[in-house]
Amino acid sequence: MVDNCIYCKIVKGDLPSTKVFESENFITIKDIHPKVDGHSLVISKKHYGNFMEMPSELYNELLECVKHSVEKLGAKDFNLAVNTGDVAGQIIKHFHLHILPRKPDDKFVFGV
């Protein structure tokens, strides 16, 4: 855990969050600034600065967590996004993956 990391504080329970799903190494919470209805974040419980720092042994559990979270959110269509590094738009330096449930009229544009 990193003392000044907002996601470490959420994982420890020091900051409030709305939990969607939890596994041994990950927690899914609702994003406090959602881009679309149901926008959620899958966060590693252990502090890894980004996707590249996370051990590959956790990838299967991460994907299972995403699947269970998507089911809990009731999302049929969705985008997944991982921002790694400043140029890619990573703001909080703790691994997290965005789940963006999509609806035909949400007006959100997921660009590449």
Q: Which residues have a catalytic role annotated?
A: 96
Quick one: which of 36, 61, 57 has its CA closest to 69? 61
CA distance 61 to 78: 19
Burial (0-12, 13-18, 19+ Cβ within 10 Å), 105: exposed
Tokens of 29: 């919470």
Residues 6+ apart with CB under 8 A from 53: 95
Q: What is the distance between the alpha carbons of residues 76 and 67, in angstroms, rounded to a whole number?
A: 11
